[in-house]
């Protein structure tokens, strides 16, 4: 929904009222329409497998024919592959708005649309854990092992997840007995959304809107801090500040995960790449015992049990 630390020019409210089957803001309009919708060809830029893109004055208009059963976080991959990677659309701000618009227009009513989106995504994550199909190259299947490894690395107790975005990981953590979870993100609207969905799911989850480098909690506030696919969104100085803040907040452990990319994926708001050497440098700078590993990307685990 939003990059963990970068706010768009005009904030997106994922729960704002919109007419059925439609989403409008100052940059984009998104419409639910049949795949064979007619009408004038004026303004039509491209038609893909799932979307129809038009230019309407200063705004772009995206038509789609996705059904509620297709409403999950693989929408990010569809948008990236069909509209952003070819260059028809660009920028993380536009990406977030089109993403929100597709979810909101796919079903009538804000909360029904978002709760369906969350339920479908979490179901597919668990299905991937049970054994993803050989042909499943979806973004959910690709990220499911990251969630699984994070859950394996996080013990019982209190957990703060920073840069939570939609908050799938905090919801999965909150399902475990003996785990009290706080999700945090710079985007206050996303945290309001997560709170509303967690309440609908009866998930015990707290939320906090803040910059991951300046979390309004005391030293050693939680047992574990998770920083999962956050640092690639931040310039090096900001990312280092986030790791220092995580170390300040964690009584036991900090778990960091990043993707390995040859180039930052701009559609997702990535601004830098990582390798093992970069993660090791962060570990050495923390002053804590650390381990670096590879598993569907890179991992840095900082532990206070072996402070050097």
| List of domains in the chain | 132-306 (3.40.50.150)
In this predicted structure, what is the pLDDT of residue 142?
Answer: 87
In this predicted structure, what is the pLDDT of residue 300?
Answer: 98
- Is the whole model's pTM more than 0.85, yes or no? yes
DSSP 57-103: TTEEEEEE---GGG-STTHHHHHIIIIITTTSS--HHHHHHHHHHHH
In this predicted structure, what is the pLDDT of residue 8?
Answer: 40
How far apart, in whole angstroms, are the C-alpha atoms of residue 275 and residue 279? 7
Other beta carbons within 10 Å of 155:
13
- Contact indicator for 98, 83 with CB cutoff of 8 Å: yes
Q: pLDDT averaged over consecutive 10-residue blocks of the chain (308 residues)?
A: 40 91 95 81 86 92 96 94 94 92 96 97 94 66 94 96 97 95 96 96 96 97 98 96 98 97 86 95 96 97 77
In this predicted structure, what is the pLDDT of residue 128?
Answer: 92
Is the Cα dihedral 195, 227, 165, 122 positive or negative? negative
Distance of CA 84 to the CA centre of its chain: 17
Read off φ and ψ for residue 30, nearest 5 degrees.
Answer: -125, 135
In this predicted structure, what is the pLDDT of residue 6?
Answer: 38
- Contact indicator for 194, 167 with CB cutoff of 8 Å: yes
In this predicted structure, what is the pLDDT of residue 111?
Answer: 96
């Amino acid at each position: 929904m939003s990059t963990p630390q970068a706010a768009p020019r005009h904030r997106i409210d994922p729960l704002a009222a919109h007419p059925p089957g439609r989403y409008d803001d100052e940059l984009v309009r998104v419409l639910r329409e049949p795949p064979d919708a007619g009408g004038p060809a004026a303004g039509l830029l491209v038609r893909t497998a799932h979307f129809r893109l038009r230019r309407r004055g200063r705004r772009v208009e995206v038509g789609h024919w996705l059904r509620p059963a297709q409403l999950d976080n693989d929408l990010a991959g569809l948008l990236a592959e069909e509209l952003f990677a070819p260059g028809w659309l660009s920028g993380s701000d536009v990406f977030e708005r089109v993403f929100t618009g597709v979810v909101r227009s796919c079903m009538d009513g804000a909360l029904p649309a978002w709760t369906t989106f969350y339920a479908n995504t979490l179901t597919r994550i668990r299905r991937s854990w049970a054994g993803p199909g050989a042909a499943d190259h979806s973004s959910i299947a690709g990220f499911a092992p990251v969630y699984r490894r994070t859950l394996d690395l996080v013990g019982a107790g209190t957990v703060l997840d920073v840069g939570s975005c939609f908050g799938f990981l905090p919801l999965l953590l909150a399902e475990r007995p003996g785990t009290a979870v706080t999700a945090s993100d710079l985007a206050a609207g996303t945290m309001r959304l997560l709170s509303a969905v967690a309440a609908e799911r009866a998930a015990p989850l707290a939320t906090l809107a803040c910059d991951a480098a300046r979390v309004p909690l005391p030293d050693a506030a939680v047992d574990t801090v998770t920083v999962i696919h956050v640092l690639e969104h931040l310039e090096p100085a900001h990312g280092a500040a986030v790791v220092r803040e995580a170390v300040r907040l964690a009584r036991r452990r900090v778990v960091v995960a990043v993707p390995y990319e040859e180039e930052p994926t701009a559609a997702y708001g990535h601004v830098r790449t990582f390798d093992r050497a970069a993660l090791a440098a962060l570990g050495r700078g923390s002053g804590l015992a650390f381990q670096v590993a590879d598993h569907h990307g890179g991992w840095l685990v900082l532990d206070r049990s072996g402070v050097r």
